[in-house]
Amino acid sequence: MEHLVRSCYKQGGYVFAKKAANLVGDGRVARLASNENPESPSPVAIEAAKDAVLTANRYPDERVDVLVSALSAYYGDYNFVAGVGMDGVIETLMRTLVDPGNTVAVASPTFSFYGIAAQAQGAKVIAVRRRPDFSVDTDVLIREGRDAKIVVLCTPNNPTGNSTSFDDVQRILDGIGGVLFLDNAYVEFSGTDYLPLMRKYENLVIGRTFSKVHSLAGLRIGYAFVPVWLQPFYLRAGTPFTVNAVSAAAAAAALTDRAHAERYIAQVIVWRKKFSTDLKFPVLPSDANFVMVDVRPFTSDEVVEKLAAKGVLVRSCRSFTGLADHYIRVSIGEDWENERLIRELNAL
């Protein structure tokens, strides 16, 4: 019966990070493959989640008001939408805007789910190459993305770690005819704030997530700043009641615990620098909570396997289209995890 499956799902799909490693020495695995905050969620988020479970017999609020109100209190007067992770936001945005045959242009190499979600709507996906140093050539992106329904730009970029400047983003917004989806999953770890652009452009959507700095990856909750015209259509296109009440309550509460987020941001800043000085392999400059490491003469998968055998999980970058097969991505974890990574990678 497999002939019934859509051709776009006959192969491909999202490639997940390796999940199993040898339990060495103390029996702990250093989990540095998925860019998560190694600390448990904030106690206030956990309390809010527990409270929300008590009324889980009821459907959640379809507009996710508890979170939208918390986001407004935190950021000020913007229009927000929420989703099941930023992945859910990306999926609903594609559903809202993309007709079969439309073009979606993606500054690549980058996170793979944009292309997967766009193809699910029948889009033609154009991977617009970044420069060899992974910076974005705005002229090329504008030229190739001019007729696209959506142009996607991840900044700081996964997996390369570099940012696109505020001015370059503005230039792209001025030059394209469709919507720019700016993926800011890692923006809390960078020095750049793109939000002023929301006030100026009607074609900008900025995606964010609670999976990284806020320690809520397992609750699957993300959101976006959207222009006012888009909001009702996004709500119409979305799966009904898609964001559950427990996740929404936890996320709203997490925003109030700034110290929790700031602890991890401080950890990231210290260890990004340490990775670049202490690793014997070249480390690319990063504005995110991970670094990309050039592991030549080894291949990506070779290093992932060797490190897993030593109790360290990192991400192979082999599945990132357009990237040479000799990079790994290493998240910043707790001290002992980062120390083990340095020791084992340098011992290769």
Residues forming the site for ligand PMP (CB under 6 A): 85-87, 111, 154, 158, 183, 185, 209, 211, 217, 222
Closer by beta carbon to ligand PMP, 185 or else 226? 185
Complex with ligand PMP: residue 106 or 342, whichever CB lies closer: 106
Distant-in-sequence, close-in-space partners of 180: CB < 8 Å, separation ≥ 6:
150, 151, 152, 153, 169, 172, 173, 201, 203, 204, 205
- Residue 66 phi/psi, 5° resolution? -60, -40
CA distance 273 to 291: 10
Shortest reach from residue 89's CB to ligand PMP, in Å:
8
Name which of 188 and 344 has its Cβ closer to ligand PMP: 188
**In the complex, minimum distance from the CB of residue 314 to ligand PMP, in angstroms, rounded to a whole number:** 14
Smallest distance, ligand PMP to C-beta of residue 156, A: 8
**Which residue has the CB atom at the shortest distance from ligand PMP?**
85
- Whichever of 138 and 160 has its CB closer to ligand PMP, that residue is 160
Using alpha carbons, select from 330, 329, 321 the residue that is nearest to residue 113.
321
Nearer to ligand PMP, 93 or 342 (CB): 93
Least distance in Å: CB of 247 to ligand PMP? 11
Q: Are 140 and 162 in contact (CB under 8 A)?
A: no
Distance CA 236, CA 96 (A): 8
* In the complex, least distance from residue 199 CB atom to ligand PMP, rounded to whole angstroms: 23
DSSP assignment of 243-295: S-HHHHHHHHHHTT-HHHHHHHHHHHHHHHHHHHHH-SS-B---SSSEEEEE-
Q: Which is nearer to ligand PMP, 121 or 247 (CB)?
A: 247
Q: How far is the CB of 211 from ligand PMP (least distance, A)?
A: 3
Q: What is the DSSP string of 110-123?
A: --SHHHHHHHHTTP
Spatial CB neighbours of 276, under 8 Å, sequence gap ≥ 6: 283, 285, 291
Angstrom distance (rounded) from CA 118 to CA 91: 8
- Find the shortest distance in angstroms from Cβ 186 to ligand PMP: 7
How many C-beta neighbours within 10 Å does residue 193 have?
A: 10
Whose CA is closest to 327, among 302, 347, 348, 299? 299
Pick the closer one to ligand PMP by CB: 103 or 211: 211
Do 143 and 171 contact (CB within 8 A), yes or no? Answer: no
Amino acid identity, residue 137? Answer: D
For residue 45, the minimal CB distance to ligand PMP (Å) is 15
**Nearest-approach distance from CB 2 to ligand PMP, in angstroms:** 28
Closest CA to 64 of 85, 76, 82: 82
In terms of CB distance, is 96 or 158 closer to ligand PMP? Answer: 158
Angle, helix 43-53 to helix 245-254, in steps of 10 degrees:
150
User: Nearer Cβ to ligand PMP, position 195 or 217?
Assistant: 217
